[in-house]
Amino acid sequence: MDNVKQLILDGKAVLGIEFGSTRVKSVLIDENNRPIAQGSHQWENHLVDGLWTYGIDEITAAMQSSYADLRANVKAQYGADVEITALAAAGISAMMHGYMPFDADGKLLVPFRTWRNTNTARAAADLSTAFNFNIPLRWGISHLYQAILDDEPHLPQVASINTLAGYVHRLLTGRCVLGIDDASGVFPIDSGTRGYDRTMMAEFDRMAATYGFAQKLESLLPEVLQAGQDAGALTAAGAALLDPSGHLQAGTPFCPPEGDAATGMVATNAITPRTGNVSAGTSSFSMIVLERPLSRPYEAIDIVTTPEGALVAMVHCNNCTSDLNAWVKIFAEFMTLTGQKVDMDTLYGALYNHALTGAADCGGVTAYNFISGEPVLQLPSGKPLLMRTPDADFSLANMMRAHLYASVAVLKIGNDILFNKEHVAVDRLTGHGGLFRTPGVGQRILAAALDSPITVMSTAGEGGAWGIALLASFLVHGRGRSLGEFLSSDVFADADATEIAPDAADVAGFNRYIEAYVKGLRAEEAALD
C-alpha cells in the first residue's frame, strides 16, 4: 500500500479511460501494469430523430465523472492525502466507428452518430462495390458518404471528421490523431504504408465530387499513428477539463487514441497472427489476426488492424447481451414482488448456470436479441423476439440457454465464413466482456458456437480501460520492443487463464439451434415490416 501510494504521489502511475457503450471507465495502473484504482460513470445512448447518439455535453461530463470517481477511490484506498497531480502516461479509448464532423472552429456539426446506426446501407454498398473492399455501415466513411448522398446541410462546413476517442484526445492534447486500429474503422488502411489507402481515397474524392462535395478526403481525416508513437501531451486546458478540481497538471504524454477493438486485443494479448479474441457485452465482436489477406471481400467480415497495423478479420455484431439483461431484470422484478432481496451478481450466476442444465438445442425455444439493426444479417432495425414451437420444452433452463445462444448466434454465422470458407487458423481465442462474468458459462456457450477452445484470463473483467492503459504504458516503457514483446514479457508472462474446450454434445446442439434460428429469421423480418 505504501509503495502504491508513493507511486501515485510521484506521478508514476498510468491512466487509461475508455468510453464504452454503457460505462465510461477509468483505470490507474502501476509500473508492473497492474490496476491499482478504478472509477466509472454509467451512461446510455439515446434514439434522437431516428439516430442513436450521446450528447456532446454528456461526453465531457461522463469523462469528468469517471475521473472524479477514480480520484475518490484513490483517496479511499490509499489515504485522504493522496492526490493525482501528475501521470507517467495516459490514453483514451472509445467504442469504434460512427460519425463526428467538425467545422474549422472545432464545433460538432451534427449529433454524434454511433456505431449502432444502420441508416448508411446505400453508402456502404456503393463504397464496397467501388473499392472492392467491404465497407461496413457503421464506419465513418459510410456516414460521411451517406450524408453526401442525402445532401445534408452541414456538409459545406465540414473541416474534419473524427471518432469519439479521437475527439476526446483532441480536447485533452490538441492533437488530431488516431491510433491505426481506430483509423481502420474510419477508412481502409494500406497494410504496406500503414496509412489510409490512397487509391481508395482518390476514388472516394471522384465519387463525392459527382454530388458536389469538393473537399478532399485527405484533408478531413486525422493523422494515423501506431502503438508506441508520440500522440501529444496533456495541455493546461485539457488538464482543467479532465480534472476540474485543478490538481492534475499538464504535460502527461499520451499514446494514440484507440478503439475498443484495439484495447480488447491488447487486454487479451491477441495481437500476433493466429491469435484472436471475442468481446461480448452490449455488442459482440471477434478479432482474428490474419496470416494472409482473405481471398475476397465478405459483407459480414470487416478488415481492420492491430495497434501496430497487422491485418485483422473482424466480425462485429450490433447486438449481444442487452436483451438477455432485460430478461434477467424481469426475474429481479419478480423477486422484489415476492419480498426477496435481489443481488444481481447472484441472480445472473443462478440463471446462467441453470441454463447449462437445459437441452443442448434449447428444446424448441429460439430467441432473437435484436435491440437494433444487425448488419451481418442485413437487418436494418431490430425487434427482440422469443419464439417456441407448440411442442417445445418451455422451461426456464431452455429459455435462458436460448438467450445465451442468441447472444453469440450472429457471431457464429460470421465466423463460420472465416473457418469454413477461408480456412483461417487460430491457435488461441480469448474471451472478455460481460458475458464471461459468470465463470465458465459464457465460455462454454462460445466454445460450442465457434467449435473452438476458449480461454478466459483472470484479467478478463479489466476490459478496455486496462487495454488503453497498457498502450499508454507501452509508450513510456516499451524500450524499443514490439508491442507483442512488451505484452508477453511485461504483462502476461504469469497470466492466470482457464481454457474450456468445446463439448461435442454442445456443438451438435448449437448447430441444431442455429439451423432453426436461420429459418426463423423470416419471422424477424416480418416483425420489422
The 8-class DSSP code of residue 61 comes to H
Element (H, E) at 414: helix 396-416
Question: What confidence category does residue 21 fall into, taking pLDDT thresholds of 50, 70 and 90?
Answer: confident
Based on the fold, state whether residues 204 and 295 are members of the same structural domain.
no
Based on the fold, state whether residues 356 and 385 are members of the same structural domain.
yes
Which amino acid appears at position 212 of this protein? G
Contact by Cβ (8 Å): 91, 257: yes
Residue 244 lies in a domain: yes
pLDDT of residue 459: 67
Model pLDDT for residues 422-432, shown as the tens digit of each residue: 999 998 899 98
Compute the average pLDDT of residues 219-236. 98
- What whole-number percentage of the chain has pLDDT above 90? 89
Mean pLDDT of the chain: 95
CATH number, domain at 319?
3.30.420.40
Based on the fold, state whether residues 296 and 443 are members of the same structural domain.
yes
Based on the fold, state whether residues 309 and 407 are members of the same structural domain.
yes
- Return d(Cα 376, Cα 379) in angstroms, integer: 8
Residue 170 lies in a domain: no
Compute the average pLDDT of residues 345-361. 97
Bridge partners of 233?
253
Model pLDDT for residues 77-111, shown as the tens digit of each residue: 999 999 999 999 999 999 988 999 999 999 999 99
Contact by Cβ (8 Å): 365, 386: yes
Based on the fold, state whether residues 14 and 136 are members of the same structural domain.
no
Report the 10 Å Cβ neighbour count for 405. 27
pLDDT of residue 460: 58
pLDDT above 60 (res 513): yes
Question: What confidence category does residue 461 fall into, taking pLDDT thresholds of 50, 70 and 90?
Answer: low
Which residues form the domain of 390?
268-458+503-529
Parallel/antiparallel/unpaired status of strands 177-179 and 89-94: unpaired
Residue 261 lies in a domain: no
pLDDT of residue 241: 98
Based on the fold, state whether residues 371 and 485 are members of the same structural domain.
no
**222 alpha carbon, distance to own chain's centre:** 20
- Return d(Cα 427, Cα 453) in angstroms, integer: 9
Contact by Cβ (8 Å): 443, 281: no
Based on the fold, state whether residues 14 and 43 are members of the same structural domain.
yes
Based on the fold, state whether residues 392 and 314 are members of the same structural domain.
yes
Integer angstrom CA distances of residue 485 from 246, 270, 394, 422, 479 = 37, 12, 51, 28, 10
Parallel/antiparallel/unpaired status of strands 454-457 and 428-432: parallel
pLDDT of residue 355: 98
Q: Could you give the dihedral angle defined by the CA atoms of residues 89, 92, 93 and 94, in that order, rounded to the nearest 10 degrees?
A: 170
Bridge partners of 305?
311
- Return d(Cα 497, Cα 259) in angstroms, integer: 25
pLDDT above 90 (res 193): yes
Domain count, the chain: 3
Compute the average pLDDT of residues 276-299. 92
Residue 177 lies in a domain: no
Model pLDDT for residues 472-509, shown as the tens digit of each residue: 999 999 999 999 999 999 999 888 889 999 999 999 99
Residue 452 lies in a domain: yes
Based on the fold, state whether residues 352 and 244 are members of the same structural domain.
no
Q: What is the pTM of this model?
A: 0.86
Model pLDDT for residues 129-157, shown as the tens digit of each residue: 999 999 999 999 999 999 999 999 999 99
Contact by Cβ (8 Å): 399, 386: yes
Residue 515 lies in a domain: yes
Contact by Cβ (8 Å): 96, 260: yes
Nearest to 91 by CA among 260, 240, 302: 260
- Return d(Cα 304, Cα 129) in angstroms, integer: 18
Contact by Cβ (8 Å): 158, 220: yes
Residue 446 lies in a domain: yes
Based on the fold, state whether residues 57 and 91 are members of the same structural domain.
yes
pLDDT above 70 (res 231): yes
pLDDT of residue 437: 86
Least confident of 164-173, 402-411, 493-502: 493-502
Q: Which long-range contacts (CB under 8 A, 24 or more apart) does 230-233 make?
A: 230/475, 231/169, 231/173, 231/175, 231/177, 231/179, 231/255, 231/256, 231/257, 231/475, 232/169, 232/173, 232/174, 232/175, 232/177, 233/173
Based on the fold, state whether residues 307 and 356 are members of the same structural domain.
yes
Cell numbers standing for residue 14: 498510468
Cell numbers standing for residue 488: 508477453
pLDDT of residue 462: 62
Based on the fold, state whether residues 149 and 215 are members of the same structural domain.
yes
